[in-house]
Chains A and B, each alone.
Chain A
Amino acid sequence: MASILVAEDDADLRSLVAFKLASRGHDVVQVVDGAEALASVRSHRPDVVVLDITMPGVSGLDAARQIRDDPALSDLPIIMLTARAGSADVEAGLDTGADDYVIKPFSPRELALRVEGLLERRR
C-alpha cells in the first residue's frame, strides 16, 4: 500500500489508471499536467510517480528532469507513459531519469505490476 501520483492530461485514461492502482490498495493523487505534478511532489512526496510524457505546458520529460535536478526529490521512483514506440523516444524518456516506462496502449495490470516492482526494489 503506497502513495502514488498519476500525471496524465487525458481524463479517461487518468481515471482508469487511478482506479486500477486504487483497487490494489494504493493511495492515488491525480494531476493533469507537469506543473501540477511538480507542485504536488514538492508538497506531498509520493512513493512513486506515474508520468505521461506528452502533457501541455510542462511535459512529462521536463517534469522528470526537474525532479531529478531537485536534491530533495532526485531519488523519487518514476515510471513514464509514452505513446512513442520508437526506441529513440523511449531512450529519451530513460535519459531524463525515468526508472521504467510503458508504451500506450498498455495493460493496466502490467502498469500496476511495474509500479509495485519499483516500490519493492526501493524498499
Chain B
Amino acid sequence: MTDHQVRRHEGEQEDDAGNEPGLELDEILAVLSHELRTPLSTIAGSLEIIAEELEGRVEPRYQLILEAGRRNVNRMTRLLDDLLTISHNGVLVPGTEEFDMRGVVREVVEDLTLPAERRSLDVVLHVPDEPLVVTGDAGQLYRACANLVGNALKFSHEGGRVDIAVGSDGNDAVIRVIDRGIGIPEDARAHLGTSFFRSRNAIERQISGTGLGLRVVQLVADAHDGAFEIDSEEGRGTTVTLRLRTSATGPSSDPTSGPSTAPGAINPDD
C-alpha cells in the first residue's frame, strides 16, 4: 500500500542495532492515524447498526451502554484527527481556500452540543452580522476551534457558562473562548503547547485529555500566519484568543461586545 509506506531518508543505513533511521515520530503518528481509521469505522458502524436495530426495543440501560460506546468512538476519532494534524513534522501545509470563519465556529458549537448539555453548560456564541473571510484550511481551523471549545467545556464547572466570540480586529480574525472553570496553574504556563503536556490540576481532577490539543492550536495558528494567547488564573477560568490573518481589511469590532455593529461589508480580494 504505497499511500503510507514509510519514507527512508536517502543515504541512511540501519545502525548496528537494526534501528531504522528516519522513522520519525511524526511518520508513526501519520501512519497510526491512517491505519486506525478502518477498524474504528467498523466499530462505529457496528454500534450504529445495532443501536438502530434495538431502538425502542431494549431497556434504557443498554441504550446508555451503546451510547457510551459510540461516544468513545467519537473521542478516538478526534484524537486521531489531532494526531494527524500534529504529524506533519511540525509544519502544516497552508490552505488556500477562502471561507467564512463564522461557519466553522458554528459547526464546532453544534458538534459539541451534547457534551455541553451533559454537563449543563451554557454555551453562548457571539458572531458578527458580516462574513469573516479567512484564507486557509477550514478543516485545520475546525480542529483548532474544536480543541479550544472542547477544553473550555472540559475545564468548566458543571452548570457553568462558556462564551465564544468571533470578530475582526483590523487585518485579523479573532476567535475568543472564555470559560470560568478550573484555570491553568502558573507553573504550567511555560509548558502549554508542548506535545502531551497535561497540567497538574487537570490530572488531579482526572479530566480526560491527550495533551495534544494546544499543540494542534499552535500549529494551525502558525500555518495561518496567526497566533494564540492564553490568559488564565487557577480557580478563576481561562480566556484563549486565536488570531488569524483575514484576506481583507475592514473595520474593527471588539469580539466580546456582542453582535457586531461595524458598518459596511468586508470585501474579500477577488
Contact = CB atoms under 8 A, between A and B. Distances in A.
Interface stretch (B44-52, B122-130, B243-251): B44-52
A87 B143 CA distance: 13
Interface stretch (A41-49, A63-71, A100-108, A113-121): A100-108
A39 interface: no
Chain B contact patch, size range: 20 to 34
Interface residues of A, number: 24
Given A85-B81, A85-B84, A87-B95, A105 B40 contact: yes
Contacts of A108: 45, 48-49
A54 B4 CA distance: 9
Contact of A13 (B2, B42, B97): B42
Those 6 A-B pairs whose CB atoms lie nearest each other, nearest first = A105-B41, A104-B37, A83-B37, A104-B41, A105-B44, A105-B40
A55 B73 CA distance: 24
Nearest to B92: A86
User: Per DSSP, are chain B's interface residues mostly helix, strand or loop, or mixed?
Assistant: helix
Interface of A: 10, 12-13, 16-17, 19-20, 53-56, 59, 83-88, 104-109
Given A83-B34, A83-B37, A86-B84, A16 B42 contact: yes
Interface string B222-265: 00000000000000000000000000000000000000000000
A42 to B, nearest CB: 24
Contact of A10 (B34, B42, B43, B137): B42
B46 A83 contact: no
A10 B2 CA distance: 16
Nearest to B74: A105
A13 B84 contact: no
